Amino acid sequence: MTDVLSSPATQAPAAAAPLKVAAIQQAYQGNKSATLAHTEQLIRQAAEQQAELVCLQELHAGPYFCQHQDAGLFDLAEPLDGETAQRLGQLAYELNIVIVGSVFERRAKGIYHNTAIVFDRSRELAGFYRKMHIPDDPGFYEKYYFIPGDADPGFAPIETSVGKLGVLVCWDQWYPEAARLMALADADILIYPTAIGWEPEEQPAENDRQKEAWITVQRGHAVANNLPVVAINRVAHEADPSGVTSGIDFWGNSFICGGQGEFLAHANHQQEAVLIADIDLSRTEQLRRIWPYFRDRRIDAYQDLQQRYRKR
């Protein structure tokens, strides 16, 4: 009797053990010391639940200070080996986990970045990513504080023991080009530390449309690149120290989704959360065999993407 084998075209790649990922959604605690202590507590909770990769929100060590322009706030910046990095590195080493954190980086005199930092089971920095897309809107005056990242290449995954992490930051999450370039560089997962919220006086219907757009565009990046996505946002109200606006109600809604955009874990808009989900990184290969976007890309016809605007 002849054995019947599955066609190579229908065979799924061998599944590896799932990666347990945590996304920590938290509120600012009033000062840096208290906030870092609270972050540590939440990281330990994630580690107790066997998370191997723990992802923190944008600028998690302090307030979202970009609501107004104040030269004195540059004093909040720290180097890549500053207090925040040292505390995260120690936790990564002690708990034997990978941590994605965030700092307001002082790179040199007058040069500051919004920077994601990664520690791989070690006190030593495994890699970093400097935010590329910098907004400048009422309540989000980031161009005053941050210079866009200038690494070459700008969109490069950070290699770790749990995979290649395609770390992007907040405003980057609206751009399909950033997600695609990370995918083309062989990222295993897309990670978006974030600080985004509502204006308290805005109409509820508009608030809901904005939140749903934010969720949908990132799930779209997951689908278009067959990659899991981790989006980590702040939660709770933060006042505008200048008094010009009513502050920001950060809308939370952190989530983890799979490579077809399916929710694996999803927080609400009101409470802190330690989201935990198992991610099967081997699914990317399987999905790209079924949905061959990368095969069918018309790379010969995309030259105009390098133009600011193209009018026929």
Catalytic residue among 55, 66, 170, 257: 170
The DSSP bridge pattern shows strands 53-56 and 19-25 to be parallel
Give which of 243, 231, 275 is closest to 57, Cα–Cα: 231
Cα–Cα distance, 47 to 96 (Å, whole number): 9
Whether residue 98 contacts residue 164, with contact meaning beta carbons closer than 8 Å, is answered with no
Catalytic residue among 20, 66, 131, 211: 131
8-state DSSP, 10: T
The DSSP bridge pattern shows strands 98-108 and 53-56 to be parallel
Residue 50, SS3?
A: coil
Whether residue 76 contacts residue 65, with contact meaning beta carbons closer than 8 Å, is answered with yes
The identity of residue 242, as a single letter, is: S
Q: Cis before residue 153, ω within 30 degrees of 0? A: yes
Residue 182, SS3?
A: helix
Whether residue 192 contacts residue 168, with contact meaning beta carbons closer than 8 Å, is answered with yes
Active site residue 58: yes
Dig out the tokens for 164 from the structure: 């290649």
Active site residue 262: no
Active site residue 211: no
Catalytic residue among 52, 58, 78, 238: 58
Give which of 235, 220, 117 is closest to 174, Cα–Cα: 220
What's the maximum distance between 2 C-alpha atoms anywhere in the chain?
Answer: 82
Surface-to-core class of residue 18, CB atoms within 10 Å of its CB (0-12 exposed, 13-18 middle, 19+ buried): middle
Catalytic residues: 58, 131, 170
